[in-house]
């Protein structure tokens, strides 16, 4: 029997590979990315090299998909450049320029009722306070380069007014059993290495982020492909745990796991934290060592995110099956037991 086809744009990345693993038993997968896809190559998958910022590449991909148009069961759009430099980036501009061309081309190609699923980010939402979960209607804020780009892509998607199901899956902090989430890894690694800055924090340490395991993310996309079919509307779905894991919880768990002690967590004024981060960053740049913490990040310390995921469950039948609080001990044990592997995996993540 001929399998239905799912197109995954940006399929070579961390999230794309997980979605491939989840969908492969049920669909013929076509991935398209600027990077090779080493997971493709079986009889039930294929890969196209695609620079989505190139109008010519986008047009060529749409032409190549034409013979399969009747079999297309959905599109997953993941293409992004996850980046903490907070600098103007021509890659973002190019993606924003070609996104309308891609969307309109897909809309003309796909059978009626076939969904387009777009990956967005919690980083493009405004923070909340403990006990006041964010909803799909909560304010959106693009206050630094990466979330500003994600917000622009959302606006483009909405302005195209496609006559089919369209979903914005707003992802919380996506992690795996090996961490693979840059801010989480960086906090843990500072404690593992006993770096002085690990005990200072310029925000409320009893606030934090909401997270979502990579396998739960893949399941959310699988559910959306099926449940949103023939429901033409823009569906905005929050994908994450309902509650936050605070900065203090991670700090205390890591200090106990690595050093069998409760390291202090000392509040410092923001001006001092900004100066310290900028000086250390400047010094690292001088010797060719890029440091994660930068002065521009300090105003975001102590921000809080938690999700109302009940509407997502109602819409696509999805809720998270995994909690970071439950997985964190095993993540810390891995860092302790196999530091070389821990570093290799996490240092490979773009930031």
Given a cut of 70, whether residue 228 has pLDDT beyond it is: yes
Please give the structure tokens belonging to residue 136.
């799909």
What's residue 43's pLDDT? 64
Rounded Cα distance between 121 and 303, Å, is 15
Q: Are 11 and 47 in contact (CB under 8 A)?
A: yes
Burial of 186: CB neighbours in 10 Å, binned 0-12, 13-18, 19+: middle
Tell whether the model's pLDDT for residue 178 goes beyond 80.
Answer: yes
Whether residue 153 has pLDDT greater than 60: yes
Alpha carbons 150 and 162: distance in angstroms, whole number:
19
CA separation, residue 146 to residues 91, 127, 138 (Å): 11, 16, 19
Q: How would residue 312 be classed by pLDDT, with cut points 50, 70 and 90?
A: very high
pLDDT band at residue 201, thresholds of 50, 70 and 90? very high
Whether this model's pTM surpasses 0.85: yes
Instruction: Supply the CATH classification number for the domain 5-172+212-243+305-323.
Output: 3.40.50.720
167 close to 116: Cβ distance less than 8 angstroms: yes
Sequence ranges of the domains in the chain:
5-172+212-243+305-323
- pLDDT given for residue 79 in this prediction: 80
- pLDDT tens per residue across span 20-63: 999 999 999 999 999 988 776 566 789 999 999 999 999 999 99
> What's the mean pLDDT in 229-254?
98
Packed helices 324-337 and 182-192: angle between N→C axes, nearest 10 degrees: 50
Q: What is the mean pLDDT of residues 74-102?
A: 94
pLDDT score, position 41: 53
Quick one: pLDDT at residue 45? 84
CB contact at 8 A, 278 and 213: no
* pLDDT for 42: 60
């Amino acid at each position: 029997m001929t399998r239905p086809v799912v197109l995954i744009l940006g399929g070579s990345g961390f999230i794309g590979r997980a979605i491939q693993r989840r969908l492969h038993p049920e669909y013929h997968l076509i991935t398209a990315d600027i990077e090779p896809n080493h997971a493709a190559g079986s009889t039930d998958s294929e890969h196209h090299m695609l620079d989505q910022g190139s109008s010519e590449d986008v047009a060529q991909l749409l032409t190549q998909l034409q013979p399969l148009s009747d079999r297309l069961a959905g599109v997953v759009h993941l293409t992004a450049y996850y980046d903490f430099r907070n600098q103007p980036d021509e890659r973002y501009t190019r993606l924003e320029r070609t996104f309308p061309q891609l969307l309109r081309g897909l809309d003309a190609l796909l059978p009626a009722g076939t969904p387009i699923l777009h990956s967005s980010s919690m980083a493009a939402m405004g923070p909340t306070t403990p006990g006041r979960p964010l909803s799909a209607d909560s304010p959106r804020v693009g206050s630094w380069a990466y979330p500003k780009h994600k917000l622009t892509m959302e606006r483009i998607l909405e302005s195209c007014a496609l006559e089919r199901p369209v979903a914005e899956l707003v992802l919380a902090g996506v992690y795996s059993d090996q961490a693979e989430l840059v801010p989480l890894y960086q906090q843990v690694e500072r404690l593992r290495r006993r770096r002085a800055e690990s005990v200072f924090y310029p925000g409320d340490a009893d606030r934090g982020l909401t997270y979502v395991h990579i396998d739960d993310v893949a399941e959310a996309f699988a559910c959306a492909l099926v449940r949103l079919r023939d429901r033409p509307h823009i569906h905005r779905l929050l994908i994450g745990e309902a509650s936050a894991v605070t900065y203090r919880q991670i700090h205390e768990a890591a200090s106990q796991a690595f050093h069998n002690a409760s390291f202090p967590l000392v509040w410092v004024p923001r001006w001092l934290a900004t100066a310290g981060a900028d000086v250390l960053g400047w010094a690292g740049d001088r010797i060719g060592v890029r440091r994660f913490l930068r002065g521009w990040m300090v105003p975001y310390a102590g921000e809080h995110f938690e999700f109302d995921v009940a509407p997502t469950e109602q819409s696509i039948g999805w809720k998270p099956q995994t909690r970071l609080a439950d997985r964190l001990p095993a993540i810390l044990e891995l860092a302790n037991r196999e530091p070389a592997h821990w570093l290799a995996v996490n240092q490979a993540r773009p930031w």
